[in-house]
C-alpha cells in the first residue's frame, strides 16, 4: 500500500510542485491549503490530488484536518511543512499583528501540524518530517525580522525533534530554498530581478519549484533513512554554510 504524504500549502508554488512530485513517486498525497479556493479546485482538477482546507496557525484546525485526511487516505507517514506567509516591514514599522501572523503560521504551524501525527509515527516506527525553511532563516533579511526569525526557528525545531525521532524510525529534516521562480517571485519587476537578485546567485538564475520538490522526494524515501536533523541548502550558491 502506498504511503500517505500530506503537504501544507500544497496547491500553489513550491508546495504544488512537491505534491505532484510525491504523487509521481508513488505516494498517496493530500494537499492542504488555507484560502484560495479557486486555485485549490484548479489544482485538484489538473492533478487528481485532493485538497483540504484549514489554517495551520490553529492547532484545533490542524488536528481536525489531519483526522479528515487520515479517515479518507490512511495514516500520514510523510509530512511536508511548507505553508508560509510574509508580512514584510522594517522593524520600526512592524506591528504586533504582522509579527504574530508570521510566527503563528511559519513557526507554530510546524508544531500544530507535526504534533498530531507524531504519536502515530512513533507507534508505527516510521515517519518522515520535511519542513521548508528559507535562505533568509539562515542569513537574515532586512525588512523580514518576523519571517527570518520564524524560518530560523524551523531549523532549530528540526534539529531538536530529529533527536527525539531517531530511535523510533522517524527522520526530521529541513530544506532552505533560495530565490525560486514561483508566481510570487516572478511578479517582482524584471529590472529588480535582473539587476539586484539574480546577480547575487552564482549559478545565474532562479531556482525552479521542481528542484525543491526533488529534495523532498529524496528525504521522504527509504534511501534517506540515515539522514536526520539535516539542513539542505538549495540556493544556487547564494549563501554557503
CB distance 76 to 120 below 8 Å: yes
Q: Is the Cα dihedral 115, 19, 131, 104 positive or negative?
A: negative
27 is a catalytic site residue: no
Q: Which residue from 185, 213, 193, 238 is spatially nearest to 14, judged by alpha carbons?
A: 213
Question: What is the separation, in whole angstroms, between the first and last Cα of the chain?
Answer: 39
Q: Are 239 and 139 in contact (CB under 8 A)?
A: yes
Q: Where are the beta strands (DSSP E) in 82-203?
A: 127-132, 170-177
Contact indicator for 180, 203 with CB cutoff of 8 Å: no
177 has which bridge partners? 234
Q: How far apart are CA 232 and CA 122, in angstroms?
A: 24
CB 129 within 8 A of CB 114: yes
170: helix, strand or coil: strand
Closest of 169, 241, 220 to residue 26, by C-alpha: 220
Q: Which of 27, 33, 147, 179 is catalytic?
A: 147
**Cα dihedral 82→183→17→206 (10° resolution):** -100
Task: Tell me which residues are annotated as active site.
Answer: 147
Amino acid at each position: 500500500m502506498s504511503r500517505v504524504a500530506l503537504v501544507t500549502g500544497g496547491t500553489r508554488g513550491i508546495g504544488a510542485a512537491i505534491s505532484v512530485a510525491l504523487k509521481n513517486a508513488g505516494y498517496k498525497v493530500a494537499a492542504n491549503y488555507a484560502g484560495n479556493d479557486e486555485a485549490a479546485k484548479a489544482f485538484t482538477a489538473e492533478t487528481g490530488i485532493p485538497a483540504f482546507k484549514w489554517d495551520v496557525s490553529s492547532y484545533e484546525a490542524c488536528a481536525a484536518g489531519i483526522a479528515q485526511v487520515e479517515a479518507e487516505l490512511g495514516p500520514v507517514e510523510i509530512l511536508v511543512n511548507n505553508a508560509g506567509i510574509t508580512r514584510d516591514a522594517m522593524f520600526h514599522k512592524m506591528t504586533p499583528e504582522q509579527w504574530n501572523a508570521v510566527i503563528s503560521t511559519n513557526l507554530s504551524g510546524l508544531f500544530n501540524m507535526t504534533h498530531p501525527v507524531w504519536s502515530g509515527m512513533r507507534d508505527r516506527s516510521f515517519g518522515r518530517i520535511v519542513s521548508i525553511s528559507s535562505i533568509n532563516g539562515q542569513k537574515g533579511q532586512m525588512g523580514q525580522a518576523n519571517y527570518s526569525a520564524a524560518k530560523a526557528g524551523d531549523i532549530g525545531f528540526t534539529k531538536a525533534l530529529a533527536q527525539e525521532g531517531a530511535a523510533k524510525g522517524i527522520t526530521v529534516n529541513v530544506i532552505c530554498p533560495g530565490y525560486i521562480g514561483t508566481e510570487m517571485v516572478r511578479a517582482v519587476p524584471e529590472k529588480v530581478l535582473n539587476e539586484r537578485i539574480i546577480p547575487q546567485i552564482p549559478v545565474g538564475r532562479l531556482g525552479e519549484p521542481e528542484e525543491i520538490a526533488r529534495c523532498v522526494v529524496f528525504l521522504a524515501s527509504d534511501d534517506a533513512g540515515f539522514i536526520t536533523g539535516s539542513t539542505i541548502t538549495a540556493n544556487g550558491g547564494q549563501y554557503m554554510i
